[in-house]
A and B are shown apart, each in its own frame.
Chain A
Amino acid sequence: MVLYVIKRLVGIVAILVVMSVLVFAITQVMPGNVAHILAGQFADDATIKAIEHKLGLDAPAYVQYWRWASGVLSGNLGNSLIMERPVGPLIWDAFMSSALLAAIAFVMVAVFGIVLGVLAAVRQNRFTDHAVSVFSYIGVSVPEFFWAIVAIIVFARYLDWLPSGGAGNLSHGVWSWASHLILPSLTLTFTLIAHVSRLTRSSMIETLRSNYVRNARAKGLPEGVIIRRHALRNALLPTITVLAIDVGWLLGNIVVVEAVFSYPGIGRLLLFAIERHDLPLIQAGILLIAAVYCFANLIADLLYAYFNPKIRYGHAES
């Protein structure tokens, strides 16, 4: 029996390869090229040709792709064309900053989303339910950059409690470092929490209506036990899948949020690279983000199977 994980890993690698070709193809048809940008507005053709030659941009597309791909296979992600520095460390630093932000937001989304969703389901059609529903509607209905701006106006300008952007440095103290993370991560959390809480609510309500919950009631169990032991475990299974999808949303929203807060993460770096057609940087950034997303999905599928005894212990023959 071939191992499931190996199959999935091979699948992920295949997706990344296809994607790198796709990204490469797109950058090939992008109007304007990096040589123009580097040479400046008034450069003559000869200068541009020279720059193109120096960067290897005059070779046929497949040769360029092969150069890049063989570099990657030997662990060399190439140099950023614009910044003329190795892509590896550049992207790694940005990625770690983003990962920190994303991790904080993800944990908050998961915890608060689930808690609010369960509360709303248990108090269905009562005040708590409606309050959670309004809260999540507002969060999901206005774009993250608007909340980011509102947060800056309120907390940075008027109240002056928190910095309006940039990243802190641990050498200036823990608070300086942490304070730069609060507004971006809150913004990310607020716009994503609705997704999780709404799904958790509907899944919980469905579970509370199920035959096995009715059966548990017929056994005379206290309502609290029914909710904790019988409903919650089953209701949270679909939430795992939703959290994986949210990783994707998070990675998308982070681009915008980093832009608003001038946070030096991978989103801002990628935006910078796309605006300047810096192919190696685009490739590395996109592939890294896609890889994170693919792994998140793989982990979600494995967790789902792990927490679902039906899958964990195989099916009965029917």
Chain B
Amino acid sequence: MPKADAANAEAARPMRSLLAGANPKLVVGALVLALLVAVAIAAPWIAPYRFDEMSILSRLKPPSLAHWCGTDEFGRDVFSRTLMGARLSLMMGFAATAVSLLIGVPLGLWAGYRRGTVDEAIMRATDVLLSFPPIMLGLLILAVTPPSLWKMIIAVGIVYVPSTVRLTRSVTLDLAGEEFVQAARARGERAAYILHAEILPNAWPPIMVEASLRVTFAILLGAALSFIGLGAQPPSSDWGLMISEARPLIDRAPWVALAPGIAMGITVIAVNLLGDGLREALDPRMQRKGG
């Protein structure tokens, strides 16, 4: 009989985690994002026009069957440009976040586990970087070199390094006090092993939740930099740049600004939903205990 009970309880567990995984925000966010990624990848093939194809004859045409979102002042198809912009925007968001994780996570782990002077030095450095409002830091870094997509990605990535370090460090500090980490020390494990095998796997969930939200910051920051002219350069189809170019035409052709703006809204909302869904699914307090 006890065996049967145990078996029941076991059988119930995967079911419960499946249910916890079925967070509606998570599902909707993931689906929309997957769709966006697919569109971004397929953009060159599914776009009705080339993104930089100009046509003097069809300048500033309102939305029609031929041009779903109208055309801009050079007669380029806004819909095609918006599709291509998805590539840049998503690339911007994810690559910049990856840069911040790549630099920030190891530093945070090290600071949180080693403590002492290493910790102090890293924390003071993040203090300095955090004293710049994000866009200022991005501005300064971009001002050094002529803008290009990769430089912008690295600049935006660096902007979010300090907050990644902070979060990773605090998670590491908590985990380092956990008894299974103490047990690893007691059996003589080296610091490198403890960090990558014991601490990191448990630190990922909160880091990933933060990172997913940071993707949206990165997309918005990248767009803002392009908008003020320090990011992507014409004739690129970056959404921020497109909106900036559409500004003088607001009166005559509001659709030129609208399409990239809405696309951006959808992208950011999808990532936000995904992040919130992740947070709720991973937060143990959100899950009801049964039994």
B217-238 interface (Cβ within 8 A of A):
220, 223-224, 227-230
How distant is A272 from chain B, measured CB to nearest CB, in Å? Answer: 11
Contact partners of B230 in chain A: CB under 8 A = 274
Given A256-B135, A260-B247, residue A142 in contact with residue B143 (CB < 8 A)? no
- Is A119's CB within 8 Å of the partner chain B? no
Contact partners of B223 in chain A: CB under 8 A = 143, 145
Given A145-B224, A149-B247, A271-B228, residue A23 in contact with residue B135 (CB < 8 A)? no
- Is B24's CB within 8 Å of the partner chain A? no
Task: Let me know if A256 and B227 touch, CB within 8 A.
Answer: yes
Given A30-B143, A137-B272, A141-B269, residue A149 in contact with residue B133 (CB < 8 A)? no
- Is A152's CB within 8 Å of the partner chain B? yes
- Is A96's CB within 8 Å of the partner chain B? no
0/1 per residue, B133-151, Cβ < 8 Å to A?
Answer: 1111001110111100000
Contact partners of B146 in chain A: CB under 8 A = 31
Contact partners of A286 in chain B: CB under 8 A = 132, 136, 140
Give how many B residues have a beta carbon under 8 Å from the other chain's beta carbons. Answer: 40
- Is A29's CB within 8 Å of the partner chain B? yes
Could you say which of B135, B247, B250, B257 contacts A255, with CB atoms under 8 Å apart? B135
Task: Let me know if B133 and A143 touch, CB within 8 A.
Answer: no
Could you say which of A141, A248, A253 contacts B265, with CB atoms under 8 Å apart? A141
- Is B8's CB within 8 Å of the partner chain A? no
A289 to B136, CA, bound (A): 9
A26 to B158, CA, bound (A): 15
Interface 9-mer from A14-22, A61-69, A305-313: A14-22
Contact partners of A145 in chain B: CB under 8 A = 223-224, 227, 240, 243-244
For B247, give the chain A residue with the smallest CB separation.
A149
Given A145-B224, A153-B254, A271-B228, residue A23 in contact with residue B131 (CB < 8 A)? no
- Is A144's CB within 8 Å of the partner chain B? yes
Most buried by A among B136, B243, B246, B265: B136
- Is B164's CB within 8 Å of the partner chain A? no
Contact partners of B251 in chain A: CB under 8 A = 157
Task: Let me know if A290 and B250 touch, CB within 8 A.
Answer: no
Contact partners of B272 in chain A: CB under 8 A = 137, 140-141
Task: Let me know if A249 and B133 touch, CB within 8 A.
Answer: yes
- Is A186's CB within 8 Å of the partner chain B? no
How distant is B147 from chain A, measured CB to nearest CB, in Å? Answer: 11
Could you say which of B131, B141, B216, B265 contacts A19, with CB atoms under 8 Å apart? B131
Tally inter-chain residue pairs, CB-CB below 8 A. 117
Given A157-B251, A248-B133, A252-B134, residue A143 in contact with residue B128 (CB < 8 A)? no
Give how many A residues have a beta carbon under 8 Å from the other chain's beta carbons. Answer: 45
Contact partners of B240 in chain A: CB under 8 A = 143, 145
0/1 per residue, A159-192, Cβ < 8 Å to B?
Answer: 0000000000000000000000000000000000
Contact partners of A294 in chain B: CB under 8 A = 131
- Is B63's CB within 8 Å of the partner chain A? no
A230 to B250, CA, bound (A): 50
A19 to B131, CA, bound (A): 9
For A206, give the chain B residue with the smallest CB separation.
B285
A249 to B140, CA, bound (A): 16
Could you say which of B128, B140, B264, B268 contacts A26, with CB atoms under 8 Å apart? B140
How distant is B201 from chain A, measured CB to nearest CB, in Å? Answer: 26
Contact partners of B136 in chain A: CB under 8 A = 251-252, 255, 270, 286, 289-290
- Is A146's CB within 8 Å of the partner chain B? yes
- Is B174's CB within 8 Å of the partner chain A? no
Task: Let me know if A22 and B261 touch, CB within 8 A.
Answer: no
For A249, give the chain B residue with the smallest CB separation.
B133
Contact partners of A108 in chain B: CB under 8 A = none
A27 to B141, CA, bound (A): 10
A126 to B227, CA, bound (A): 38
How distant is A288 from chain B, measured CB to nearest CB, in Å? Answer: 11
- Is A95's CB within 8 Å of the partner chain B? no
How distant is B195 from chain A, measured CB to nearest CB, in Å? Answer: 28
Task: Let me know if B264 and A31 touch, CB within 8 A.
Answer: no
Task: Let me know if B227 and A290 touch, CB within 8 A.
Answer: no
A161 to B144, CA, bound (A): 42
How distant is A294 from chain B, measured CB to nearest CB, in Å? Answer: 5
- Is B127's CB within 8 Å of the partner chain A? yes
Contact partners of A144 in chain B: CB under 8 A = 224
Task: Let me know if B265 and A142 touch, CB within 8 A.
Answer: yes
A26 to B136, CA, bound (A): 13
Contact partners of A263 in chain B: CB under 8 A = none
- Is A259's CB within 8 Å of the partner chain B? yes
The 9 closest A-B pairs by CB, nearest first: A252-B135, A141-B268, A252-B133, A146-B261, A251-B133, A142-B265, A141-B269, A248-B133, A290-B131
A-B contacts, 16 of them at CB < 8 A, read: A19-B128, A19-B132, A141-B268, A145-B223, A146-B261, A146-B264, A157-B251, A209-B285, A249-B134, A252-B133, A252-B136, A274-B139, A289-B133, A289-B136, A293-B132, A293-B133
